[in-house]
Amino acid sequence: MSNDFVPDKNVKIYDGPAGGWGALSASFQILNQEKAINAIPALMKMNQPKGFDCPGCAWPEPGKTSITEFCENGVKAIAAESTSKRINIDFFESHTVESLKCWSDYDLEQQGRLIEPMAYDEATDHYTPISWDDAFQLIGEQLRVLEDPDQAVFYTSGRTSNEAAFLWQLLGRTLGTNNFPDCSNMCHESSGVALTESIGIGKGTVQLEDFEEADLIFVIGQNPGTNHPRMLSVLQQAARRGCQIVTFNPILERGLEKFIHPQEALQMLTGTSSSISTHYFQPTIGGDLALLQGLIKAVLAAEETQKNILDKEFIENHTSGLLELREEIGKTDWSVIESESGLSRTKIEEVASLYCESKKVIACWAMGLTQQKHAVSTIQHIVNLLLLRGNIGRPGAGVCPVRGHSNVQGDRTVGITEHPNESFLRNLDAQFGISSPRNSGFNTVQAIQAMESKIVKVFMGMGGNFARATPDSSRTEEALAKCELTVQVTTKLNKTHLAHGKKALILPCLGRSELDVQASGEQSVTVEDSMGVVHSSRGRNQPASENLKSEVAIVVGMARAAFTENQKIWQALQDDYSLIRKKIEAVLPELFEDYNEKITQPGGFQLYNSAAARKWNTKTGKARFITKPLPILEVPAGKLRLMTIRSHDQYNTTIYGLNDRYRGIFGTRRVILMNFQDMASLGIEHGQKVVIESHMEDGRKRQVSGFHAVRYNIPQGCAASYFPETNELIAVEYTADRSFTPISKLVPVTVHKSSE
């Protein structure tokens, strides 16, 4: 990546809409870049009833799909998976691991698909080919010699299917550990903790159809134009019929302002865009809890004068804790709410009036909320606001945490958790004749600390890019290097593969779009979308190599090498995935009754959601109003509140390109978006090279260099920069209260002129 930064070249004003011709052009460019011949026919099968699920986001498919049920991000994901580029033995012979560590995430991504298992050779510092049998034998031997099963960690990415995830947790629990950190720990863990305490289930309560009825939709701390583009068409339809859409986001995101659906011919030909947000507010970073308390305060005040605002029957029959909420909110002065939120009382009361006038309200959010220090409390105040008017458990209303990867929610449903419940473990033990451990395992942060202290000796990664998704990347890499063995199941090379243990394996697997043929024939897998719908996914493309194995086959290979018992059972599960689903049904009968039959239905089936049915599995037996005093978030003078963001050319840690079209950033990623007043006070000019230094309580110096300051529309005192490049600034211990989610949305930093 070039370090030559020219403001007029790298930063341009983008005043066009999201979607439109720009999305089509970018889609064709990525297809050409990847030389992905198989991608176009695959796209026609993606998100279709008899096709495969997009390996990108978890936004659900509509009941009636169009012939092109995909977005720009989906095209990028399939182009990357269908690329004709291959990493073969010549590549690894030509590059030592040490030399590859200098490569960027983007450069590694551009090398293409991995096509054979590789093992690290410490003597030469190269990865060299290894047979599947030898790879499995090495894993089995290493697992068997562990002094304690908790010396192993089994990490899971959200792209893993239900079937592979279920076998993954079975492998770990057969070994004797609950160490199952996963990507949920780093994204929506705060949602799960908050919702479980408030409404008795850690998932959202709405369906796609609810967006067709809502009068008001809140979009808080979320950027669907980049992270969940197909959501924009749903918001577009809602706005067209008169639904109010209120957005809270420190940055003006183009997808939440105006949008052209690339599949609407008239819009494309005329260039007429649709407005999305009817109201758009830019709170200060970390100010969401204060603005939500302000909204609740205004609603309660309206009830005092109008007497008909609250849903008293719902509150009486279905909730607990309103008195405590009233008392706590009453203590908070408007001046504090204004200073902490960055919004005026007038603006907050304006939104509260809209809420009071609306009969059906949906609240959506994503990592802009979940990765804050007080994320759990913030999300519980969303619930509090909705409960006041009965907006949970009825059509057109509810909570909607918008998940990231396509099956991150499904992984949790089938057992990927460090805190399994007793019913699940009891049924699992009965089905497989094992004795699952009952102690809690390591989450992501704890796993890093355990590797760092050499408590964990084996790290097993089912997909993902652990070292780049986690905070304090160099520290995470150092922790991985202390392991006796690291194993990565993947499709492409990434930075985590270079942070290897003393022994290391890279095991290439099939992609979501590829045919999976086992002994009983072609196999399908299942995934759960962001709204709890489980559906089938069957790849159609020929595999990138004959030497690839499915995730299921890889897990079975590990298990058969590690355990002498149940060899035939493991092999049978690999031969026929419907048998895995029967086992999932037996372990989770209340959710997966008639599993194999239901997934033959177009669109799959809806999992039971207790809160949506107004059955509250909480400690009071009712939906709970939960509140705490409003914290004062003080950032010392001269320091800014940094939040990490994605560019439009990336998905999670995967970097497809170097442009961020909607924000007007081109050809570079090492930028920090700053308010013009902050730049002036610091004597920093637009485009000037800077060093960013964070200030964590542990006193360890963390900084990143080679960045350029960009003048941007962001509240004073706030700044934004891309991850994973800025993950280096965040301490492993810097986590959200009670959820242990790393805090990426309020990092105290100073920005200095670079001496280079």
Expressed in angstroms, the distance from the first to the final Cα of the chain is 17
Q: Which pLDDT belongs to residue 636? A: 84
User: Residue 316 in contact with residue 310, Cβ under 8 Å?
Assistant: no
Q: Both tokens of residue 482?
A: 């202390």
pTM of the model: 0.96
Q: Which pLDDT belongs to residue 2? A: 46
Among 193-207, 258-272, 712-726, the range scoring the smallest mean pLDDT is 258-272
pLDDT digits (tens, 9 = 90+) for 429-460: 999 999 999 999 999 999 999 999 999 999 99
pLDDT digits (tens, 9 = 90+) for 163-184: 999 999 999 999 999 999 999 9
pLDDT digits (tens, 9 = 90+) for 104-142: 999 999 999 999 999 999 999 999 999 999 999 999 999
CA distances from 390 to 356, 393, 455 (A): 11, 8, 48
363 has which bridge partners? 218, 399
Instruction: Work out the angle between the directed axes of helices 322-331 and 288-306 (0-180°, nearest 10).
Output: 110
pLDDT digits (tens, 9 = 90+) for 558-580: 999 999 988 999 999 999 999 99
Identify the residue with better confidence: 700 or 533.
Answer: 533
Q: Which pLDDT belongs to residue 555? A: 98
Percentage helix, strand, coil, to 5, in the chain? 40, 20, 45
pLDDT digits (tens, 9 = 90+) for 51-97: 888 888 888 888 887 777 788 888 888 889 999 999 999 999 999 99
pLDDT digits (tens, 9 = 90+) for 287-345: 999 999 999 999 999 999 998 999 999 999 999 999 999 999 999 999 999 999 999 99
* 587 pLDDT more than 90: yes
Q: How far apart (Å, rounded) are the C-alpha atoms in residues 60 and 347?
A: 33
Q: How far apart (Å, rounded) are the C-alpha atoms in residues 677 and 516?
A: 56
Q: Which residues contact 500 (CB under 8 A, 6 or more apart)?
A: 97, 120, 480, 481, 486
Q: How far apart (Å, rounded) are the C-alpha atoms in residues 106 and 95?
A: 17
Phi, psi of 221 (to 5 degrees): 60, 45
Q: How far apart (Å, rounded) are the C-alpha atoms in residues 694 and 682?
A: 16
Strands 216-220 and 361-365: parallel
Share the mean pLDDT of the chain: 94
pLDDT digits (tens, 9 = 90+) for 598-623: 999 988 999 999 999 999 999 999 99
In 351-456, the DSSP E strands lie at: 361-365, 398-401
Q: What is the share, in percent, of the chain residues with pLDDT greater than 90?
A: 84
Q: How far apart (Å, rounded) are the C-alpha atoms in residues 334 and 33?
A: 53
Q: Which residues contact 479 (CB under 8 A, 6 or more apart)?
A: 448, 449, 451, 452
pLDDT digits (tens, 9 = 90+) for 479-489: 999 999 999 99
Closest by Cα among 45, 48, 44, 52 to 63: 48
Q: Which pLDDT belongs to residue 723? A: 95
Q: Which pLDDT belongs to residue 3? A: 59
* 1 pLDDT more than 60: no
How confident is the model over 714-735, as a mean pLDDT? 96
Q: How far apart (Å, rounded) are the C-alpha atoms in residues 331 and 204?
A: 30
